[in-house]
Amino acid sequence: MFTTVRLKTLASRCPARAVIAQRGKSTLLEWCESNPIKFGVGVATVKTQAADLLTQKSLEGKSWAEIDWRRNGLFTVFGFAYQGCFQYYLYVTLFSRWFAGAARFVNQPLSVKLTDYAGQRDVLKQIAFDVLIHPIWFFPMYYTLKEALCGHPSLFDGESPAAIGKVALSKYAANNFDTRSEDGLLTDWIAFWKIWVLGDVVVYGLCPMWARLPANHVFSFVYICVLSFMRGSSAEKDLPCVIVEHESDGPSEQNQIRKDTALHTTHV
């Protein structure tokens, strides 16, 4: 008798639990829909931080004790400020103005897309902007933020923003535009293109509007892993020592001065 009553009680509770779960799900979806900026920025922040952590743990084989948490903090800040806040404004606000027909095109069946030449031109424009124009400021901003938070010296050491920006841009130039670079020219750009040319074709040309953001986050997660692996580490090669001779009020002396020759050395 007791068992029967208990089973009936549990059975009566199941629908209630299902209703509560459904209400919770609906509430979450409603919150996401009514707070798209907060939701988008939050996902971008967590995704970018997680991508670097995965890179350090899985690709670089670090233990938890060896994790570079300042580097992970760099990607957390970059995920929040750039990938979250700035790119939301770029891709949601500005792209909606510049490419007003994008939503109509992506929501069409594939058979209709194949004959919609105006829509195809819009897709090509979006891809061209993302892979040719966007990196112009994407990489300098990343290098500058990295130098500010993880450089030697950094903002935490009292280094001036002007000095940080100068060093960051010199490293960016050395890694991408110096013919003597060990990795060749446009190293960062080529890695960017390998992910985002295909990614943008999928996101801007094939995904319906509702799937754009999730698809973009998938490709972005992969790219952040690549960026973290290539440019996340703070280690740098030893800089050469330049000997400078000058006359002083006393006897002649030699001073050894270490100069940053970033254009002659590849930095990470």
Tens digits of per-residue pLDDT, 31-42?
A: 767 777 888 899
CA distance 118 to 85: 30
Structure-model confidence comparison of residues 209 and 77, the more confident one: 77
Residue 51 identity (one-letter amino acid) = A
**Annotated domain spans of the chain:** 35-262
3-state secondary structure of 152: coil
pLDDT band at residue 141 using 50, 70 and 90 as cut-offs: very high
3-state secondary structure of 244: strand
**Whole-structure pTM value:** 0.76
Name the nearest CA neighbour of 39 among 31, 50, 47, 27: 31
What is the arithmetic mean of pLDDT over 252-268? 41
Q: Is the pLDDT of residue 106 over 70?
A: yes
CA distance 105 to 114: 10
Name the nearest CA neighbour of 185 among 177, 174, 196, 195: 177
Lowest mean pLDDT among 19-23, 147-151, 209-213: 19-23
Name the nearest CA neighbour of 165 among 187, 188, 189, 146: 146
Structure-model confidence comparison of residues 1 and 117, the more confident one: 117
Structure-model confidence comparison of residues 64 and 184, the more confident one: 64
